[in-house]
Amino acid sequence: MKRVVAAILACVACALAQAHSASDAYLTLEVKDTVIEARWDIAMRDLHFVLGVDDDGDGAITWGELKRHRPDIESYAYRRLHATADGADCAIEPGAQLVTARADGGYVTLRFRIVCKQAPRKVTLDYRLLFDVDPTHRGIVVVRRGNAIATSLLSPDNARVELTRS
């Protein structure tokens, strides 16, 4: 009997683990002189959780729904990313909004540029996406500078990454 109960509990635990996948966003940065070209992939399920982008509640987020919510999505995301270069604020210039498929579902891709006034020695990114509503969220950052690639994992306890000139 104990084996049966243990087997049932294991099955329930597996089902619960599969029902909740981790909340991750992917931020890819290509550092140039005064500009950082950026791509930010944010899970649609996370955007629905905070913004309610599935307007008809059918469980399928359409391109039309994403287009209608584009200002909300950009406002929500860009208010949670701040960049400074050698202590001075850099501007975030929004670009295209796309849709990307990943193994764990659909993502909204925000293309944008981080523009600094001069070529900085150090750029600091302060990343706060979803941390106020999901303490398990992680920001996976990939930084490209020429042929060099570096990665960082951002969390509520580690929300900043510094990019220094090599």
Give a yes or no: residue 15 inside a domain. no
Give a yes or no: residue 138 inside a domain. yes
Mean pLDDT value across the chain? 86
Give a yes or no: residue 4 inside a domain. no
Mean pLDDT of 33-38: 89
Give a yes or no: residue 14 inside a domain. no
Three-state SS sequence of the chain: CHHHHHHHHHHHHHHHHHHCCCCEEEEEEEECCCEEEEEEEEEHHHHHHHHCCCCCCCCCCCHHHHHHCHHHHHHHHHCCEEEEECCEECEEEEEEEEEEEECCEEEEEEEEEEECCCCCCEEEEEECCCCCCCCCCEEEEEEEECCEEEEEEEECCECEEEEECC
Percent of the chain with pLDDT over 70: 86
pLDDT band (50, 70, 90) for residue 166? low
Does the pLDDT value for residue 28 go beyond 90?
yes
Give the pLDDT score at 32: 84
Instruction: Count the domains in the chain.
Output: 1
Mean pLDDT of 67-84: 96
Give a yes or no: residue 17 inside a domain. no
Which region holds residue 69: left if phi is over 0, alpha if psi is between -120 and 50, else beta? Answer: alpha
pLDDT tens figures, 123-147: 899 999 999 999 999 999 999 988 8
| Structural domain span for residue 52 | 22-164
pLDDT band (50, 70, 90) for residue 60? very high
Burial class (CB in 10 A: 0-12, 13-18, 19+), 120: buried
Whole-model pTM: value is 0.84
Give a yes or no: residue 8 inside a domain. no
